[in-house]
Amino acid sequence: MSLESSAVLSHLSSWLTCFELCCMRALNRSFYTGIPRHTWELTASNISSSKSMDQLSKVFPHVWCLRVQDAILEETPTMKSLMPWLNRSEELRKLVLTRVQEPAIIAPNLEALVIEHCPVTRFHADTKLPQLKKLSLSSRSFTALHAQCLIKDMLPKSPMLEDLSLASCSHLEQVLVNPGDLPALRRLDLSGCPKLDRVHVTSKLLETLDLSRNDSLQYVLLDLERVVDLDLSFLKNLTHLYIRSPSLRRLNLRGVRR
């Protein structure tokens, strides 16, 4: 199979960074025109200016998954450097941020946002993600207060959110989800948070809840009308557990002391 074939070009973006793809475009005319047409995923590393992001959005207009890593953006912390891309692209559906700071993201079509290994504690007030369905946030600075601000202030602007993960947030102490919060939520992952000691969740639509591997978790209060899968495995210090759920099918209590 030729390196210039559509099948090969469509896989390059999963393996190469934006810099490497741009270098390949310079090799010949076929790559110059073909690579942008077949780049669906793009990894932007060590971007330091809004002009660079603006140029990338023009060269690669069909990207549906954008990964931004180790960004040192001129407009940090509000990350206005991403705005030209988000405003221009109608196809972008997933944004992955790694090792960046406080994001302000206005993306009317974005459906999935993944933030990994970042010192994020809150979103900028200008953030608007009306179509967001999945949010995964892993931050070493995220606490119970930040979780409440996220649930009460930011996520109401994303009424379609179905999947929320705060797994591996090393300083998260407690999570409280009240009736009316996150009305479309189906999946909640709070696993692997070493300081988490209290979880109260009330939800009519939640189907899957993962609280596994939380060594400090003592108090769990759950009122879940539709939950099917509940993972409470390896909760070594669990002392208080209340569950009301007529629909529960799978309960994992492996590693829980009686």
Decide if 75 is inside a domain.
no
Per DSSP, the three-state class of 7 is helix
Residues 28, 26, 100, 89, Cα dihedral to 10°: -60
Residue 206 lies in a domain: yes
In a domain, 150, yes or no: no
Locate the DSSP E strands across 102-253. Answer: 112-118, 134-139, 163-165, 174-177, 187-189, 198-203, 208-210, 219-224, 229-231, 240-244, 250-252
Q: Tens of pLDDT along 200-228?
A: 999 999 999 999 999 999 999 999 999 99
pLDDT computed for residue 1 by the predictor: 54
Nearest by Cα to 68 from 109, 30, 101: 101
205 within domain boundaries: yes
In angstroms and rounded to an integer, the radius of gyration of the C-alpha atoms of the chain is 21
In a domain, residue 194? The reply is yes
What does each C-alpha distance from 227 to 165, 169, 186, 210 come to in angstroms?
16, 23, 8, 11
- Report d(CA 123, CA 47) in Å as an integer: 21
What tokens appear for 165 in the block?
């993960």
**Residue 241 maps to a domain:** yes
Domain that holds residue 248: 167-258
In this prediction, residue 88 has a pLDDT band, given cuts at 50, 70 and 90, of low
pLDDT per residue over 89-105, tens digit each? Answer: 677 788 887 766 555 57
> Quick check: 1 and 8 in contact, CB under 8 A?
yes
pLDDT of residue 219: 98
Question: Which residues, 6 or more positions from 95, have their beta carbon under 8 angstroms from its beta carbon?
Answer: 65, 66, 68, 105, 107, 110, 112, 113, 114
- The total number of structural domains in the chain stands at 1
Residue-wise pLDDT tens digits, 160-176 = 999 999 999 999 999 99
H or E element, residue 8? helix 6-12
What pLDDT, on the 0 to 100 scale, is given for residue 67?
84
Asked if the model's pLDDT at residue 25 lies above 90, the reply is: no
Asked whether residue 186 is assigned to any structural domain, the reply reads yes
pTM confidence score: 0.81
Tell whether 248 is covered by a domain.
Answer: yes
Closest C-alpha among 194, 191, 200 to residue 173 = 194
